[in-house]
Amino acid sequence: MTALVKAGNGQGEANSPRAAAFYDLDGTLVSTNLVHSLGYFARNQQGLARSVVKSLRTLVGVPLFLAADFYSRKVFNNIFFKRYKGESKDRLRYLCEELFEEVIKPSIRPGAYELIAKSKSLGLRQVLVTGALDYTVMPLIEHLGFDDYVANRLEFVDGIATGRLLPPVMASATKASWIRVYAEREGLSLSDSYCYTDSMSDLPMLSVVGHPTAVNPDMRLRATAIRHDWPIVDLS
């Protein structure tokens, strides 16, 4: 099973690009991260008491999230997405458009629009590869004009989140594996493809393309990019 979703751009197979630009989302194209989305859902719970409790739990959990993410993205995923346990699928989907308008859209880095426009002008397929949840990125997919995307998906039982993710879980090496499979299936040249990310945790996906680029990178990725002479761009 694949988590790939075709955004649909109306291109015929004969006109399909032969290479792609793969983008991370959080910290790369937007200045927000997964915690901002969780915090938004927490603040918009039905009932004041529930909203306050959820918001406080999210706030208190931030140091733990940061420590887990520094140690291992897999550990982070196991801890972080458990916070969605008990959430209603219908309500999460209902809030997604508001989440985009109030949180995600204002956080899109100014240079992201120009970067994507330039990439499109090169005839590259635009693909988002993110550890964010699928329903939270759908409005952004349309807004930025991506062709395809892959995202994490919550497991639901009777419409209620279990706090677990469905495989494949998009993080670190899994992103790179997914890109390889995707490129082979779609007939894309990875040596002619590009990848953009801000985090050292995404080093595997940077390493599978011919044109890796560090975007507003963390210290470890910046050092790696300098060592390998990779471009470093600031989308502010």
Which residues are tagged catalytic? 24, 26
Helix, strand, coil fractions of the chain, as percent rounded to 5: 50, 20, 30
With CA atoms as reference, report the closest residue to 73 among 122, 131, 160, 33: 131
Query: Are 146 and 127 a contacting pair, CB within 8 Å?
Result: yes
Assess whether the previous peptide bond of 139 is cis (omega < 30° from 0).
no
The number of beta carbons lying within 10 Å of the beta carbon of residue 226 is 12
Eight-state DSSP code of residue 182: H
Task: Give the Cα separation of 68 and 77 in Å (integer).
Answer: 9
5 beta partners: 149
